[in-house]
Amino acid sequence: MVRFLLFLWGMGCLAGCLQPKKPKPEPDDDVAAKEEMRNQLMEADRRFSRMCMEKGYKMAFLDNIDSNGVLLRPDMVPVIGADAVDYLSQQSDGGFTMTWDPRGGSVAASGDMGYTFGLYSIKPSAGDTVIYGTYVNIWKRQADGTWKFVLDSGNEGIGDIQ
């Protein structure tokens, strides 16, 4: 009986060794695929900014936040998930226009997470004062291949970026 069990164990080990190995992608393919994914993420951030300008802050943020998204805002504790969606729903966005320009970003090797960063401006509907700042968004790739942010944060005060 022991010999039979050792024989089965040995056959199992041998079968495991005989499994075909997946070919490793060529390094150039990995680099090209990662760059394409990064470009898609950067474009998602640009679309987010255009939507904010065209349809308003509230609609753009509600459309682009992940269900577990986090908002980091000055003088507030982090606003998370359903509370973040609730917070955004209550915002009034008629008095200003917000736009931003992603300046960089990267995607994880797994392809499911990434980040973008850049410069933003907030222009009030009335008055000349424009607020400029920097931002970072952390993104999660959704099951349908689109990107939604899981963290949004900004820092006011870099002066005129024009």
Spatial CB neighbours of 4, under 8 Å, sequence gap ≥ 6: none
pLDDT tens digits, residue range 147-158? 999 999 999 987
Return the half-sphere exposure (C-beta side, CA atoms, 13 A cut-off) of residue 112.
3
Amino acid, single-letter form, for residue 25 = P
Question: What are the tokens at 72?
Answer: 């980091």
Digit-coded pLDDT (tens) for 82-136 = 999 999 999 988 899 999 999 999 999 999 999 999 999 999 988 788 999 999 9
Q: What own/partner pairs with CB < 8 Å and gap ≥ 24 does 32-35 have?
A: 34/107, 34/109, 34/111
CATH class of the domain comprising 26-156: alpha beta
Residue 143, SS3? Answer: coil
Please report, for the chain, the start and end positions of each structural domain, with discontinuous segments joined by +.
26-156
Q: State if pTM tops 0.85.
A: no
Q: How far is CA 118 from CA 72, 80, 105, 112, 154, in A?
A: 16, 23, 9, 21, 9
